[in-house]
Amino acid sequence: MKNKIKNNSRENLISSDLVIKNYLLAFKLVSEFKTKTTSIEKIHRSIIFLYLANLIIARDCNFSSSLIKKYYISLKSIFKADIIKFNDQFFSSKIFNNQHPFSQMGYVIDISHQFYLSNIISDKNSSTKFSDSSGYRKMRGAFYTPYKIASLIVSKTLNELSHNKIKHPKILDMGCGTGVFLSAAAHQLRERNYSEDSILYEMLHGSDVEDLSNIIAKVILQTEMGLLIDNFSNLKSIKTEDIIFGNLNHNLFQAKNNSSLFNAVIMNPPYDRLKADGGTKSEKKLVEKKINFIKNLNIFKNSSSGSIDLYRLFIDKGISLLKPSGIIGAIVPMTFMADKSAAAIRKKLINTNAISEIIIFPEKAKIFEKVTQACSIFIANLKGGNETITITEMLNSSNVLRKIKVPLSVIASTSPNYSPIPLIKKTEIHLLDKLNKFPRIGEIHGITNRRGELDLTLDKKYLNGFDSRLLKGISIKFFSTNKIFKVDYKKFIKAKAGTSRVDDIYSERIAGQQISNIATHQRLKFALVPKDYILGNSLNYLKVDKKLFLKNSFSIYSLLGFLNSNILNWRFKLTSSNNHVNNYELDDLPIPINAPKNKIEALNKVVYKICKGNHIQNKKLIDNMNAIVQDCYKITKNNFSKT
């Protein structure tokens, strides 16, 4: 029974508030059948089963109370679910029938199940209870993908598979939830004339730790593929298991040989951190066990250092389950684009020329239900061979702001250390390429770049002194310092005696705020700090060795001019993905350290004037400084005005 028109149950969206209102009504009604031993989970499962029966009815446009009873019984026996026994009167009450059309029903089920996951708390004595909010959904990262986004990722993944000439792909959705990716893949494979049997029993595979979402995925998929209820099966290719940790002693989902590997992984993995703080003693122990487990596995070597994000573990695991020319199509947090935490995995994909496309959704696009998070889709073809990455910046969930192709060589040379992917305009590529040719701060012998020496938390004991010699983040403005704080100067120096930190205190330095809001125009703001001042760790600082002066008069004033220039502010913003200014980001900034002496001297002069004469507001002087800086980079005004 092929019904091409009715194959997408998530096609039409509906207000989630209305869905939740209906769900709570259903909850009340089903609760009337509650016995002493009925848990909230059992009530929820019963509602979901009724919703699924409704989905089939809505598809077949064939309602009768005896049919809904039949569907209910079939589904119950297929999935051996623990659900309430309803009586005939209940089945004829019509309360669940035809509430939503088929084209909405899948979406309704997704929202209802997420609502349940967000609002239950487990309680050993009374099984499960509703609460206003619980960490359960967050813990599992159960934020389901809108169909349109899943479908976009699937279509790009299938195109890459065609590009690799894969005729009969085996596709895995890791953390499949209620199966929106699997549905989108099924629809598109059907359009490409694959049979329902191949799609369901050979091509599509899924796994999720959460049992009920897998059941939902299986029923929706089979309903959408037009199967008759008698033909529904408990699809073995969709498994309930922990794809990352297995049972911690034996990893179930491990590819054993080449034939068990996949051609493509599609996914919206959970985004949470794996952290041992918070939670009960036993939860903490479990997290520690998980961390040890992954740290000992080679497949997680690019995702298990520092603080561990689940999404990075999913990418590493996905790569290990793919054939050598496999494809990954995923939606992940924006941090994947530029944060140091994701550097190892990003570098691996960039250095092997695997990433072909990136689509960026800003926070305001709000693509997930009731979540504000900037995300990016990436498509990677492990076969490599991509010379450019197509980067699309979205204005919102459906409109494109800009789309450009950036040469991978430019991306790789922007920061060989952590390979951030710059958010760049077409006219800026040439400029970035030009800047990339200059030595970076981290490579220049004679420039020190560090975080302030006084930890405002750990070194609190020094803050009750009487010396006005401490600068914190808020002390530093663009070219000037303002607020100075009290510190016990002598005691602090004594404590740090013998370390290079004390030498730094005795030097004149450039300091800049460690926190700088991503939305502000001028993100890099530095000022000169005289010697004998202590800097809090809310500041970064740079020091210039006097030896550099000998060659071309390069001094602390020259570096301050470059750091506060509009060119480096533009360059910094290209790869910054959060509100911090990190030392490793400063290390990557290019400096024309070998610029001609006359240009550096002109720069020193104008920067000196800005600092000493309190001319910060003097636009003419700042313009003059920017012009000299551009000249040192051999960039024309015309080049830069295109940014």
Ligand X SMILES: C[S@@+](CC[C@H](N)C(=O)[O-])C[C@H]1O[C@@H](n2cnc3c(N)ncnc32)[C@H](O)[C@@H]1O
Q: Give the pairing type, strands 238-240 and 322-333.
A: unpaired
| Contact region with ligand X (CB under 6 A), list: 10-18, 267-275, 400-408, 432-440 | 267-275
In this structure, which amino acid lies at residue 119?
N
Shortest CB 209 distance to ligand X, Å: 4
Is 420 a residue that touches ligand X (CB under 6 A)? no
**Which of 629, 450, 622, 428 minimizes the C-alpha distance to 529?**
450
Shortest CB 243 distance to ligand X, Å: 4
Is 342 a residue that touches ligand X (CB under 6 A)? no
Is 472 a residue that touches ligand X (CB under 6 A)? no
Is 329 a residue that touches ligand X (CB under 6 A)? no
**Which of 444, 414, 264 minimizes the C-alpha distance to 347?**
414
The count of chain residues that interact with ligand X, using the rule CB under 6 A, is 25
CB 634 within 8 A of CB 434: yes
CA 29/CA 90 separation, integer angstroms: 9
CA 287/CA 277 separation, integer angstroms: 9
Q: Closer to ligand X at the Cβ: 108 or 243? A: 243
β-bridge partners, 402? 393
Q: Which residues contact 607 (CB under 8 A, 6 or more apart)?
A: 557, 558, 560, 561, 625
| Contact region with ligand X (CB under 6 A), list: 75-83, 268-276, 526-534, 539-547 | 268-276
Is 244 a residue that touches ligand X (CB under 6 A)? yes
Helix 16-31 crosses helix 40-60 at what angle (to 10 degrees)? 120
Shortest CB 571 distance to ligand X, Å: 34
CA 185/CA 266 separation, integer angstroms: 9
| Contact region with ligand X (CB under 6 A), list: 265-273, 336-344, 388-396, 504-512 | 265-273
Is 479 a residue that touches ligand X (CB under 6 A)? no
Shortest CB 593 distance to ligand X, Å: 46
Restricting to residues 3-62, name those near ligand X by CB under 6 A: none
Helix 597-612 crosses helix 619-632 at what angle (to 10 degrees)? 160
CA 232/CA 224 separation, integer angstroms: 11
Which two tokens mark 229? 């209820």
What 8-state DSSP symbol labels residue 356? E
Shortest CB 41 distance to ligand X, Å: 15
Number of helices (H) and strands (E) in the chain: give both, helices first: 25, 22
- In the list 8, 9, 119, 268, the residue contacting ligand X (rule: CB under 6 A) is 268
Q: Closer to ligand X at the Cβ: 331 or 602? A: 331
Shortest CB 622 distance to ligand X, Å: 46
Is 316 a residue that touches ligand X (CB under 6 A)? no
Strand stretches in 65-203, DSSP E: 120-122, 128-130, 171-174
Shortest CB 48 distance to ligand X, Å: 14
Q: Closer to ligand X at the Cβ: 97 or 304? A: 304
Which two tokens mark 348? 């691996």
Q: Closer to ligand X at the Cβ: 371 or 395? A: 371
Shortest CB 295 distance to ligand X, Å: 16
User: Residue written as tokens 């009290």?
Assistant: 486
Q: Closer to ligand X at the Cβ: 142 or 511? A: 142
Q: Which residues contact 499 (CB under 8 A, 6 or more apart)?
A: none
Shortest CB 240 distance to ligand X, Å: 9
Q: Closer to ligand X at the Cβ: 119 or 145? A: 145
Q: Closer to ligand X at the Cβ: 50 or 180? A: 180
Restricting to residues 129-188, name those near ligand X by CB under 6 A: 140-145, 150, 173, 175-177, 180-181
**Which of 58, 64, 63 minimizes the C-alpha distance to 11?**
58
**Torsion over CA of 218, 220, 224 and 227, rounded to 10 degrees?**
50
Q: Alpha carbon of 539 to those of 252, 310, 557: distances in Å?
A: 47, 30, 19
- In the list 108, 111, 221, 243, the residue contacting ligand X (rule: CB under 6 A) is 243
Shortest CB 455 distance to ligand X, Å: 35
Shortest CB 53 distance to ligand X, Å: 22
Shortest CB 137 distance to ligand X, Å: 9
**Torsion over CA of 243, 248, 249 and 252, rounded to 10 degrees?**
-10
Site string for ligand X, 358-387 (x = CB under 6 A): ------------------------------
What 8-state DSSP symbol labels residue 590? B
Is 96 a residue that touches ligand X (CB under 6 A)? no
Restricting to residues 179-238, name those near ligand X by CB under 6 A: 180-181, 207-210, 213
Q: Closer to ligand X at the Cβ: 27 or 136? A: 136
| Contact region with ligand X (CB under 6 A), list: 263-271, 440-448, 534-542, 571-579 | 263-271
Restricting to residues 274-313, name those near ligand X by CB under 6 A: none
**Torsion over CA of 87, 93, 94 and 95, rounded to 10 degrees?**
-100
End-to-end CA distance of the chain: 56
Q: Closer to ligand X at the Cβ: 146 or 384? A: 146
Is 428 a residue that touches ligand X (CB under 6 A)? no
CA 365/CA 360 separation, integer angstroms: 10
Residues that bind ligand X (CB under 6 A): 140-145, 150, 173, 175-177, 180-181, 207-210, 213, 242-245, 268-270
